Amino acid sequence: MMISRRRAGNDVRVSFSALIRLRDEDRHVLFHTPNRPGSFNPPGGVYKYFVPAVPVLDDLGFRPDRAVSLAEVMRADLRGFLPASSVGAFLRWFSIGAYREAPIECLHRELAEELAECGLRELLPVASEIAFTHVRSVVERSVVNGPAPDRPYRQLRHFEVYEPVMTGPAAVRLRRALIEAGENDTVSTVICATSEQIRHGRSGTALLGGHCGYLIGDRRYQPDLPMVR
């Protein structure tokens, strides 16, 4: 059940995210996704907007899309519904970067949150020192089912993939520690997946989320997994 349920026929769901590609040769680090138990995804997540953006988004008709059980966690996420007529203006606003997180800001926040969730708080000081470089951007335009099969809606999702700059000791230490965690059977919250496993959608018993595909290219190989409601 969503906090915002109104989905008019001309509405478009938008979601803008930054992801981290952290790899060693063909081993990609993935974190367990608590709201999709048993599945793993790249570190990273949806950009946050700041308070001064609220009147801008209100003028565009933006309506947040929040799971009731995760309302606080998802507060100020750039994930929601827009009238189709506002999408162009929304994209222009996002491209300017005003009143929202910058990519590195988003990545540092998401990485810190997810390291804590994974029980790896000892890496937090190292993670805050990481610099990132842009790998690729992927735009998804699709039609998906709404609350019922006969209520589809359009969707626009933007994924930006970054990877740590491996020229300093902090990045090297973080990569080494996370690869070791992913290979350690006693650490259930981190895995390492190869490109072939990403294409297949599984690493052992672990399900791999659809946007894992953007770590290795510009296409997804698996559909989205449903969130816990």
CATH of the domain at 140: 3.90.79
Mean pLDDT of 117-139: 95
Per-residue pLDDT tens for 183-204? 999 999 999 999 999 999 999 9
Mean pLDDT of 128-153: 83
Question: What does the CA dihedral 13, 19, 21, 22 come to, rounded to 10 degrees?
Answer: -140
- Asked if the structure places residue 191 within a domain, the reply is yes
- Asked if the structure places residue 1 within a domain, the reply is no
Tally the domains of the chain: 1
Q: How far is CA 208 from CA 14, 181, 186, in A?
A: 22, 17, 19
State the residue range of the domain holding 95. Answer: 11-215
DSSP string covering 35-68: TSTTEEE-SEEEPBB-GGGHHHHHHHT-EE--BG
Mean pLDDT over the full length of the chain: 91
d(CA 225, CA 201): 11
pLDDT value of position 143: 78
- Asked if the structure places residue 23 within a domain, the reply is yes
- Asked if the structure places residue 30 within a domain, the reply is yes
What pTM does this model have?
Answer: 0.90
d(CA 216, CA 63): 32
**Percent over 90 (pLDDT), the chain:** 80
DSSP string covering 216-228: TSS--SSPPPPPP
Dump strand ranges (E) for 66-183. Answer: 79-83, 132-145, 152-164
- Asked if the structure places residue 227 within a domain, the reply is no
- Asked if the structure places residue 122 within a domain, the reply is yes
